[in-house]
Amino acid sequence: MSRILCGCVKNSRAFLLTNFLNGRSLSNTSSDNSKEYDVVVVGGGIVGAASARELKERHGNLRMAVLEKEHDLALHQTGHNSGVIHAGIYYKPGSLKAKLCVEGLQLSYKYCDSKGIPYKKVGKLIVAATPVEVKRLHDLLDRGTKNKVPDLKILKGEKEIKEVEPQCTGLEALWSPHTGIIDWAVVCKRYGQDFKEKGGDIWLNFEVNGFKESGSADYPVLITSKSGKSVKSKYVLTCGGLQSDMLAELSGCPKSPRIVPFRGEYLLLDPKKAKLIKTNIYPVPDPRFPFLGVHFTPRMNGDVWLGPNAVLAFKREGYKWTDINLSELLDAVCYPGFIKMALKYTTAGMYEMAKSLYTPLQVKDLQKFVPSVTTADVKSGPAGVRAQALDNDGNLLEDFYFDMNKGKKGTAVGDRVLHCRNAPSPGATSSLAIAKMMADKLETEFNLK
């Protein structure tokens, strides 16, 4: 790699850092005087920031940059989620999700302790309200045990459940003492700070719109932005969340799997009732559906969020019903996989929409576990949009998914750009473990030493 570094523009770094520290994004640069990097990471969410940090920690001599289209890091999924540090119970044994979540939780606690980032280990109850759910709860215990989630315990009957959470009711519950809560945006920004402290550059307001051949033998990929800026790089990793498929297409990868944006809306619990909730309270998920179901989530500031539901967003970054982008909506609904998925989940999808529009329905779901909650105790809260990858056959991709246009059309650029195309929940919990895997992948694919 030292050979590569010899070819770098040496005095550009001071200029970059000065501009960044001044809080400005860089001014326009033409392709002639583009900055040159060994590795560029597109996307300043938690997956991109963690991966950039990990690679820079391993290879301090690599010239690296993160390109983010917004004015700050963590403004999309990373800054709009439940803030749970998941233990790894739900995921199919042997899957990347299972492995990386369990590892990610341990790495997250260690990292936050070392940096003084606040979190609370409030634990989590998964509550069975019906005999069918009791059976599923035991299947979950089995999964969690196979995934090596420590100290899981079945609580039998109201008495044992109420010892952990006096407000909660149910037939049985699975208690996970190591589940925690945190603000993932804070963690992401700290990853970014580590990256900068090691000499990495972060370009904000840089919306990537192309990967082209630069004509340079040393830095063959020209990365262009919507506003006319550009940088050159030897290799690229994209972690674009809600835009991950669009970024993959830019380097010649197929349209599929497509990202379908599912908005998750939360209700806010009245502060007087919020004080009574001590732990995360989740339903037993229905195995036919991809999401975990509406839950009670205590927040770091003492609030309690109830949700999220799952409704189709009419815009990839559409946080409200009124956020509509016709071309994105048409793109989503005309995709063959979308029609098949819509047919599969018609009833569940309609119910989710009804809950979104009529709060008492959502409250009814929550009363199964905390009967004292009423519609008068809740008001509309924030929302997040999940980037969920969908294949051509209408299947929602469960696991993390990576792609590269290797040996196909546009190869000169395509085989230098690796894409993270699906990083759904528990992507934040898993971020440090994903980053390790991603850095291994980059080292292998791009022969980084």
Ligand X SMILES: Cc1cc2nc3c(=O)[nH]c(=O)nc-3n(C[C@H](O)[C@H](O)[C@H](O)COP(=O)(O)OP(=O)(O)OC[C@H]3O[C@@H](n4cnc5c(N)ncnc54)[C@H](O)[C@@H]3O)c2cc1C
Binding of ligand X by 240 (CB under 6 A): yes
Contact 203, 231 (CB under 8 A): yes
Cβ closer to ligand X: 160 or 399?
A: 399
Q: With binding defined as CB under 6 A, does residue 429 bind ligand X?
A: yes
Does 425 sit near ligand X (CB under 6 A)? Answer: yes
Single out the segment in contact with ligand X by CB under 6 A; choices: 71-79, 148-156, 212-220, 340-348. 71-79
Taking the C-alpha atoms of residue 232 and residue 6, their distance in angstroms, rounded to an integer, is 15
Minimum distance between the CB of residue 405 and ligand X, rounded to whole angstroms? 17
Tell me how far, at minimum, the Cβ of 57 lies from ligand X, in Å: 18
55 lines the binding site for ligand X (CB under 6 A):
no
**Interface with ligand X includes 123 (CB under 6 A)?**
no
239 lies in the binding site for ligand X (CB under 6 A): yes
Catalytic residues: 86
Contacts of 127 (CB under 8 A, 6+ apart): 161, 168, 169, 170, 172, 173, 281, 282, 283, 284, 368, 369
Which CB sits closer to ligand X, 169 or 316? 316
Considering the complex, state which of residue 182 and residue 274 has its C-beta at the smaller distance from ligand X.
182
- 39 makes contact with ligand X (CB under 6 A): no
Q: Counting contacts by CB under 6 A, is residue 386 touching ligand X?
A: yes
What letter represents residue 186's amino acid?
V
Shortest Å, Cβ 338 to ligand X: 19
Which of 45, 180, 257, 285 forms a contact with ligand X (CB under 6 A)? Answer: 45
Query: Please, is 396 exposed, middle or buried when counting C-beta atoms within 10 Å of its C-beta (0-12, 13-18, 19+)?
Result: buried
Q: Which is nearer to ligand X, 247 or 267 (CB)?
A: 247
Helices (H) and strands (E) in the chain, counts: 15, 20
Given the rule CB under 6 A, which of 32-40, 156-164, 271-279, 418-426 is the region that contacts ligand X? 418-426
Helix (H, G, I), strand (E, B) or coil at 396: strand
Is 42 near ligand X (CB under 6 A)? yes
Phi and psi, residue 388, nearest 5°: -115, 120
- Residue 213 CB: number of other CB atoms within 10 A? 11
CA 232/CA 212 separation, integer angstroms: 9
396 lies in the binding site for ligand X (CB under 6 A): no
Plot region of 324 (φ>0 → left; ψ -120 to 50 → alpha; else → beta)? beta
Residue placing its CB nearer to ligand X in the complex, 7 or 382: 382
Residue of the chain from 4, 35, 38, 44 that contacts ligand X (CB under 6 A):
44
- Of 4, 62, 84, 277, the one binding ligand X (CB under 6 A) is 84
The half-sphere exposure of 127 on its side-chain side, counting CA atoms within 13 A, is 30
Cα pseudo-dihedral 328, 333, 337, 343, rounded to 10: 150
Q: 67 has which bridge partners?
A: 42, 203
Among the listed residues 81, 230, 233, 405, the single contact to ligand X using CB under 6 A: 81
| List of residues contacting ligand X (CB under 6 A) | 42-48, 67-70, 75-78, 80-84, 86, 206-208, 239-243, 247, 264, 308, 384-386, 423-429
